[in-house]
Amino acid sequence: MSDQATKRPPPPRRPPRFRRQKIMERVLLALLPVFLGALYFFGWRVAAMLVWVAALGCGAEYLLARRRGDPLTGSCLVTCALFALSLPPTLPFWMAAVGIVVGIVFGKELFGGFGRNIFNPAVVGRAFIFVSFPIEMTARFTPVWRGGLAGLAHWGPPRSLDGVEALTAATPMWFRRDFGFTEAFPLWDQVRALFLGNLGGVYDGADGARHMLAAGSVGEVSTLLILIGGIYLLATRTANWRLVAGSLGGAAAAALLFRHLLGVQAVPPLPWTLCSGALAYAGFFMVTDPVSAPADRRAQWIYAAFIGAMIVFLRWKAIFAGGVAFAIILGNTLGPSLDMLCRRGAARARPARE
């Protein structure tokens, strides 16, 4: 027999265990100012939570992806980072573990992995623990550390302020809606605090009790830091500008409609609405998820504007003062239908023009 006949075919090439994605690396870079701000405001517990969430989230995806022969992708790291930075500063580690595993398994892997999911997995995980552990997700917020090294000199966030415990704390959204935050200090002082992130203090609410003003989730504190990362995403064309403009524009339109045209005082003024960190965080980092958002340009505008408007509406009408996660899930549900309808409309209009 010839040498050619005795040669064996080379063994099949094993798929890589990890697939780099440059677009996801740019998203992680854009999240760096937000993470550093969270570290400064709330302490080193933020870093520990991020590592914990990343380890569990990547582990869950790796186990399921390898069964299909797929590698772990950089998108999983983005999901874990977005999820960890959307959590309250005092959330127990085991609850965060439940959230990220549910988000990865049921929000992504159940659909077949990266590129096939219709829901943003980070939002799925956060929404799940929001309804499963409402007290820990809504009533365990704290103010930020200020001055000097601030949180860099501490493990976790401050638990009391001027004799008021964190159990009586409320985020700006809760404080404004339920405890008369508008009477605590002037509107533009509120907007400045929301923009910079130096939220804190003890104030007398409309209910006659003293409340601690808390700062919200760790990555949603400073609109300025979110804008720095968001501008980088737009400048590098990592984020779709239509989705950003549509979500912020939809929220602005809803605030103007409900408050200034219909006279609903429960809806915050326009500057307050735009500077609330959760809206900016969602607009730049959540709504712009390229997998769960529509591909058609007209559908993108409708999709993003719908989410922005629903954020304002849910803040006004929902039991919980924060409605960002649920607004995004509603938008994710609507997205495929919007894509289909807009494409059909374009296909019908094309012969008429011809």
Convert the pLDDT of each residue in 296-353 to its tens digit. 999 999 999 999 999 999 988 877 767 899 999 999 999 999 989 988 877 776 665 5
pLDDT at 112 over 50: yes
Identity of residue 9: P
Task: Show me where the domains of the chain are located.
Answer: 18-138, 235-344
pLDDT at 139 over 90: no
pLDDT of residue 1: 45
14-46 confidence digits (pLDDT tens): 667 878 889 999 999 999 999 999 999 999 999
pTM (two decimals)? 0.90
pLDDT at 53 over 50: yes
Average pLDDT of the chain to the nearest whole number: 86
